[in-house]
Structure 1
Amino acid sequence: MAPQPAAETPRENKESTPDEPPSLGPPSGLSGIPTQFNTEQDIRQVMKSIGCDEAREDTYRLKGVQLIDNVRESLQLPVKTFDTAAVYYHKFRIRFPSNEYSYEDVALTALFVACKVEDTIKKSRDILCAAHNIRHPNDFKTPDDKMFEVPSRFTVGLERYILEIIGFDFRVQYPQKLLIKMVRKIFPPGDRESEQERVEFLRNAYDMSIDLYKTFAPLKQSTSTLAHAILELTAAIMDVDRQKVRNVMGKDSHTSRGCVYETMLDLLDLYTQFLKMTKVGPRFDLQKMMDVKIEINKLMTEERLPRYSGLCDACSQETPNVSPATPGSATSPATNSPFPGSSTSKKKSAAREETVRFVFDAGEVRKEMELVAEYTNDEYEEYEVEVEEPIPEPEPRPANNGRTSYAPRGGHSASDHGWGPYNRGRHPHPNDRSRGRRGAGYH
């Protein structure tokens, strides 16, 4: 027997019993398109919506990135893994307040995910053990210790939330490779006189690229912008000819002066406010940092550039209603225990029933939505219909034009619409008009 054509199969599936409604088309579901870059306005609105304390969040942000850097150096991981982990850490922290997850748990989990992304695979026990040995140098442990069983399970569970937040978009900026290439152009290797200056310049610029990930600049700017901002700021602090640096950049730098100035000011804000928590800050005088910051602000005023690119004052007043989609840890990061977020108690939140799919091509998402709309959207047609309605004839008016008629003596007329009854007692009958006449008169 020949098989039935494939076109007839959906018709048989669409036939339903009287109890079950027919299924129309494919399920709509939810589609998410991750974005690689964020603006300063978006970051502020999201942090404001979750009620973040700026001073406390700044401290936890610096401590988390510093913990990632320390564990990375202990495990001898490449700098690309550090860059990826720091970006994932920032994206997680701007979505959840500090009272839901410990910054230590998030930092170590971000490093665990980054090791997988950058193909420098490390087990969760290795990362947790390295963090424990850094925190407690006198109590040395090995990854096979039983104390890492519960934290390891918590780290693996938290990995899922980080993947959902980044939208499975693993693209991250790596300015170090471009930075080294541009330093070689500024200071040619064959020149022995500038060899010492090149080594010092590269050391400060490379460490500045590590400090850069303690700010939100990697979430806002491209790789080219980050590298150019580091070079210009290093040249300004070390009193190197800045025009020489700009000539190496060239016109086709795929960036703008406003974005470069914004990144430089983000770094200077970090150095002026948290000088001791950075690598490059303690090497220079604070007054030197302040002078460079004032100079950049003057240049931005002369060129009429805003402090943050794409910042709208009218839109910044409107805060979106953003709520965390996943539960958080009940432990506050204020308690600096070895693994404060390793408890399994979670806050129950409203979970969505639909499945979220992360798509990177916006055109494919639009095509899919148009296809689903053919089955799910209700279409209505408006049209006018002329209907003849009979007009009712008017009621005849009375001959006395609505005046009151009185009944003759000795009787009552059927059309007597005269005065109402008198109040003859405390509880008289409402329609008894002649009771007083048949009795002893009016009361």
Structure 2
Amino acid sequence: MAENENHVLSIRMSHPYYSEKEISRILSTRDPKENNLRMQAFAWISTLSKTLKFPVRTSGLAMLLYSRFQLFFPVNEIPLLECATACLVVASKIEDTAKKFRDILLAHYLQKHPGSEVDAHSQVCYKLIEENKKRILGLERMTLELICFDFRVRHPHNYMVKFAKSLKFSSSTASIAWNVCTDAYKTYTMLKYPAHIVAVASISIACKLQQLPQPIIPRSFFAPPALTEAVIADILDLYMHYQPHTCIGNMYTTEKLLGLCVDFQRAQKNSGRPQKPPQIDPHSSSLADEYRESNKRLQESKESCARFILDCDRKYFNTEFEKRMLEERRNKGTV
């Protein structure tokens, strides 16, 4: 065991959330056209999920995983559709809604080549599936490493249902809030804020869409107004620029959603706490740069490996790491 410990080259701790500044630093170096490709990947995941009859939580988690993947790997470095399918495979396993891998690969091929008639049990089908199998398995492994094998997930839909019952909302308002929660997966807000904050923001947007008075959010919801407004801003930005790709966009007109965005921005200015863009240092390295550099060192070193830890293991790891550093200094005679 001690011998293997000496080969740990990279130590990675799970980060369920990133700050606005960290995400903005990564996106500042990317082509804005990547957002359109990301929406295409989300549409692919939604269609494939319907074909395989996955629940909303599985398709939503797949979108969340894809957003995280795209943060660390530019679109031009990864196969778009294969990566989206790999994220769906990981999401189905995390949510315990897994399908046979062969069925997912077959659905992937038929969706990529619509109109093709392939017998699922034929030799031709087997060869077609094998072509994508290794690639998707490799992307699945990369996704698992990116999340540090952290399978803890919280979905906003569960919180939204409980909050709606507590606030005694009608079923129509709760249904709209449910769709807003689903659209939230298509933004980076799920990587920045906890699920219960997203749920409260979805309820607020649903009330605005139905022209209902804003509910008084109890302190027991643990949803500070500043965080809730930040989530609302992200979701409304999605409706402003990518309305056709959203659930709510198919239910309301462009004028309605645009007016909602304008009213929210005006209220933000009048509130005395307008949203300020984070200050980004263009010369500092981003999380994506550090991650790729770590991968490069691991590939160059044949005998080294990476250790993945959760935040709950951090205290134990720090103690062990200090002991190891002290032992190494003693062996070198520096102590």
Q: Provide the C-alpha distance between the structure 1 equivalents of 2:114 and 2:103, rounded to a whole number of angstroms.
A: 16
Q: CA deviation at 1:211?
A: 1.3
Q: Provide the C-alpha distance between the structure 2 equivalents of 1:351 and 1:78, rounded to a whole number of angstroms.
A: 41
| Corresponding residue of 1:41 | 21
| Corresponding residue of 2:285 | 320
| SS state at 1:358 partner | strand
CA contact (8 A) 1:83 1:213 kept: yes
Q: Deviations over 1:48-72 (max 9, x none)?
A: 4xx4211x21111111112111111
Q: Deviations over 1:286-342 (max 9, x none)?
A: 23223322332233334433526xx641x544430616639x9xxxxxxxxxxxxxx
Q: Provide the C-alpha distance between the structure 2 equivalents of 1:363 and 1:267, rounded to a whole number of angstroms.
A: 36
Matched length: 322
| SS state at 1:153 partner | helix
> Is 1:375 aligned with 2:311?
no
Q: Against the structure 1 CA distance between its residues 131 and 201, is the aligned structure 2 distance closer, same or farther, given a 3 Å change threshold? A: farther
What does residue range 194-233 of structure 1 map to in structure 2 within 5 Å? 198-233=170-205
> Is 1:260 aligned with 2:231?
no
Q: Deviations over 1:21-73 (max 9, x none)?
A: xx99962723211111011211122234xx4211x211111111121111111
Instruction: Give the counterpart letter for 1:356 in structure 2.
Output: A
Instruction: Give the counterpart letter for 1:364 in structure 2.
Output: Y
Structure 1 gaps, min length 5: 1-22, 189-197, 329-346, 382-443
Q: CA deviation at 1:274?
A: 1.3
> Is 1:60 aligned with 2:40?
no
Q: Against the structure 1 CA distance between its residues 371 and 184, is the aligned structure 2 distance closer, same or farther, given a 3 Å change threshold? A: same
CA contact (8 A) 1:25 1:375 kept: no
| SS state at 2:99 partner | coil
Q: CA deviation at 1:349?
A: 9.1
Q: CA deviation at 1:133?
A: 3.1
Q: Provide the C-alpha distance between the structure 1 equivalents of 2:97 and 2:120, rounded to a whole number of angstroms.
A: 17
> Is 1:236 aligned with 2:236?
no
Q: Deviations over 1:139-189 (max 9, x none)?
A: 24455422111101211122111111111112233011121222233446x
Q: CA deviation at 1:229?
A: 0.6
> Is 1:121 aligned with 2:102?
no
Q: Against the structure 1 CA distance between its residues 366 and 80, is the aligned structure 2 distance closer, same or farther, given a 3 Å change threshold? A: same
Q: CA deviation at 1:199?
A: 3.6
| Corresponding residue of 1:153 | 134
Q: Provide the C-alpha distance between the structure 2 equivalents of 1:104 and 1:176, rounded to a whole number of angstroms.
A: 26
Q: Deviations over 1:206-261 (max 9, x none)?
A: 2222211111111111011110010101110111221xxx33x3112222211111
Q: 1:98 aligns with which of 53, 75, 78?
A: 75
| Corresponding residue of 1:27 | 6
Q: Against the structure 1 CA distance between its residues 154 and 241, is the aligned structure 2 distance closer, same or farther, given a 3 Å change threshold? A: same
| SS state at 1:215 partner | coil
Q: Provide the C-alpha distance between the structure 2 equivalents of 1:25 and 1:374, rounded to a whole number of angstroms.
A: 18
CA contact (8 A) 2:44 2:81 kept: yes
| SS state at 1:90 partner | helix
CA contact (8 A) 2:61 2:185 kept: no
Q: Provide the C-alpha distance between the structure 2 equivalents of 1:352 and 1:292, rounded to a whole number of angstroms.
A: 54
> Is 1:174 aligned with 2:150?
no
Q: Against the structure 1 CA distance between its residues 355 and 136, is the aligned structure 2 distance closer, same or farther, given a 3 Å change threshold? A: closer
Q: Against the structure 1 CA distance between its residues 100 and 302, is the aligned structure 2 distance closer, same or farther, given a 3 Å change threshold? A: same
Structure 2 gaps, min length 5: none
> Is 1:87 aligned with 2:39?
no
Q: Provide the C-alpha distance between the structure 1 equivalents of 2:177 and 2:65, rounded to a whole number of angstroms.
A: 23
| SS state at 1:99 partner | helix
* Identical counterparts, % of pairs: 23
Q: 1:297 aligns with which of 245, 261, 265?
A: 265
What does residue range 281-430 of structure 1 map to in structure 2 within 5 Å? 281-307=249-275, 312-313=278-279, 315-320=280-285, 322=289, 325=292, 350-353=299-302, 354-360=304-310, 361-377=313-329
CA contact (8 A) 1:175 1:224 kept: yes
Q: Against the structure 1 CA distance between its residues 258 and 252, is the aligned structure 2 distance closer, same or farther, given a 3 Å change threshold? A: same
Q: Provide the C-alpha distance between the structure 1 equivalents of 2:283 and 2:225, rounded to a whole number of angstroms.
A: 28
Instruction: Give the counterpart letter for 2:307 in structure 1.
Output: R
CA contact (8 A) 1:96 1:324 kept: no
Q: Provide the C-alpha distance between the structure 1 equivalents of 2:199 and 2:130, rounded to a whole number of angstroms.
A: 41
Q: Provide the C-alpha distance between the structure 2 equivalents of 1:368 and 1:117, rounded to a whole number of angstroms.
A: 30
Instruction: Give the counterpart letter for 2:146 in structure 1.
Output: I
CA contact (8 A) 2:298 2:305 kept: no
Q: Against the structure 1 CA distance between its residues 162 and 24, is the aligned structure 2 distance closer, same or farther, given a 3 Å change threshold? A: closer
| SS state at 2:11 partner | strand
Q: Provide the C-alpha distance between the structure 2 equivalents of 1:73 and 1:25, rounded to a whole number of angstroms.
A: 45
Instruction: Give the counterpart letter for 1:275 in structure 2.
Output: Q
Q: CA deviation at 1:268?
A: 1.1
| SS state at 1:94 partner | helix
Compute the RMSD of aligned alpha carbons.
Answer: 2.9
Q: CA deviation at 1:89?
A: 0.9
What does residue range 6-25 of structure 1 map to in structure 2 within 5 Å? none
CA contact (8 A) 2:177 2:206 kept: yes
Q: Provide the C-alpha distance between the structure 1 equivalents of 2:97 and 2:244, rounded to a whole number of angstroms.
A: 30
Q: Provide the C-alpha distance between the structure 1 equivalents of 2:134 and 2:299, rounded to a whole number of angstroms.
A: 23
Q: Provide the C-alpha distance between the structure 2 equivalents of 1:213 and 1:156, rounded to a whole number of angstroms.
A: 24
